[in-house]
Structure 1
Amino acid sequence: MSIVIRDVREHELDSVLALNNNAGLAILPLDSARVHDFFERAEYFRVAERDGNLAGFLVGFGSGAGHDSSNYAWFQERYPDFFYIDRIVVASRRRGGGVGRAFYADVQSYAELRYPQLACEVFLDHGADPALLFHGSFDFREVGQHVMPGVQVRASMLMKELCSYPWVLETYRGQLPDTAWTRPRRFTPASAKRSTGT
């Protein structure tokens, strides 16, 4: 029963939307337009597959992305260079089975080649202890709190130093080797494929 982490496919966006909106109060709801916007713009948008079924997803943005989240803006005002986990959702039947840990191992291996820090938040108003413990086990530390305007949700703002980044930066000077696992992840919408004939 292995977990496969891979780039999302456009035809899976409706399933991603359903996963998100069934996740409960620990995650903000999305609409179809927002999920498609993530697909078009996110630097990292991957899904977990277990036993041939979608088990979760993770969306992330680098610090230069201009992402329009107030939590992202909070980090951007305080830190010059980071990778931001916008959201991670694991299907309720898959929680506690290692999917979240597999995602965090994958996103860290992506981010530590490109950014010195990994940022995320945990909502504090709806039984946050399991999520805080999970993030603490990955060496995240609270660097502040933020109340999200509009929804009035209080979030613990978490940051993790990526200790491999200085070595990668010094060794490769921004020119990573061209291998499958170091290439930037880019998603090509079907509309763009049609217009370019690919």
Structure 2
Amino acid sequence: MTVSPAPQPGLPASAAPTLRPVLPRDIPALAALNDAAAPAVNVLGVDGLAALLPRCDLALVADDGSGTPQGLVLALTPGADYSSENYRWFSEHRPGTLYVDRIVVAPTAHGRGIGRSLHDAVAERARALGLDEVTCEVNLDPPNPQSLAFHRRLGFEQIGEQSTNGGAVRVAMLVRAVAAPDAR
């Protein structure tokens, strides 16, 4: 899958990265991008990211051609072999959804539509799989108000809360309906 996001107003077309599947050569840079985003996402390191990728139904990188990934999204289908507390919560409370395990955008690329493009690709994949919803979580404590506002702008609604990591993290459980292919 290669998707070219629409350029954002005021940015040249060359500023819009292409979405493409994660390649093995991307793993070190994506692990660094992911780990720099902690505590908004959990640290994986190269080995953790490499172990997670085969479990993902969708693993996309936003590539601007510079050799430095600008964004990442990882999503899992129902029934994946994944022990995440949040994935298990959605499997129990909202089965049959495409779960976004993480979405990370480089701070230097914020405001360029990359996060929206990554989520649009997830919604497209959910529709292709015949799934009606996309799920994810966003930290409430430690707080991540920018991510929560971003997800609300995309149409995500909070359907629950959960404490994870032995109570060290509290997250909002979010869901977004995706239109059926014939309804678009």
TM-score in same-fold range (> 0.5): yes
Give the Cα–Cα distance (whole angstroms) in 1 for the partners of residues 104 and 144 of structure 2: 15
Q: Paired residue for 2:117?
A: 102
Q: Number of aligned residue pairs: give it.
A: 167
One-letter amino acid of the counterpart of residue 160, structure 1: R
Give the Cα–Cα distance (whole angstroms) in 1 for the partners of residues 77 and 112 of structure 2: 28
Instruction: Check conservation: 2:75, 2:99, Cα contact below 8 A.
Output: yes
Tell me how far 1:129 sits from its aligned partner: 2.0
User: SS state of the match for residue 124, structure 1?
Assistant: strand
1:60 aligns with one of 75, 85, 102: 75
For the aligned residues, what is the CA RMSD? Answer: 1.6
1:120 aligns with one of 130, 133, 136: 136
2:61 aligns with one of 33, 37, 47: 47
TM-score, normalised with respect to structure 2? 0.84
Instruction: Check conservation: 2:16, 2:112, Cα contact below 8 A.
Output: no
One-letter amino acid of the counterpart of residue 123, structure 2: Q
Instruction: Check conservation: 2:55, 2:81, Cα contact below 8 A.
Output: no
Tell me how far 1:82 sits from its aligned partner: 0.5
1:69 and 2:66 correspond = no
Give the 5 Å matches for 1:19-168.
19-52=33-66, 53-114=68-129, 115-150=131-166, 152-164=168-180
Percent identical residues: 29
1:12 and 2:26 correspond = yes
One-letter amino acid of the counterpart of residue 142, structure 1: Q
Structure 1 gap segments, 5+ residues each: 169-198
Instruction: Check conservation: 1:2, 1:51, Cα contact below 8 A.
Output: no
Give the Cα–Cα distance (whole angstroms) in 2 for the partners of residues 2 and 140 of structure 1: 24
CA displacement, residues 52-93 of structure 1 (integer Å, 9 cap, x when unaligned)? 231011111001213210000001111220100000111111
User: SS state of the match for residue 141, structure 2?
Assistant: coil
CA displacement, residues 127-148 of structure 1 (integer Å, 9 cap, x when unaligned)? 4222111111111100000001
Give the Cα–Cα distance (whole angstroms) in 1 for the partners of residues 47 and 16 of structure 2: 32
Instruction: Check conservation: 1:48, 1:55, Cα contact below 8 A.
Output: yes
User: SS state of the match for residue 105, structure 1?
Assistant: helix
Relative contact order, higher structure (CA 8 A, sep 6+)? 1
User: SS state of the match for residue 26, structure 1?
Assistant: coil
Give the Cα–Cα distance (whole angstroms) in 1 for the partners of residues 73 and 125 of structure 2: 12
Tell me how far 1:126 sits from its aligned partner: 3.3
Measured at CA, do residues 89 and 40 of structure 1 come closer, stay the same or move farther in structure 2, by a change above 3 Å? same
Q: After TM superposition, which residue ranges in structure 1, 4 or more long, deviate above 4 angstroms?
A: none
Tell me how far 1:2 sits from its aligned partner: 2.1
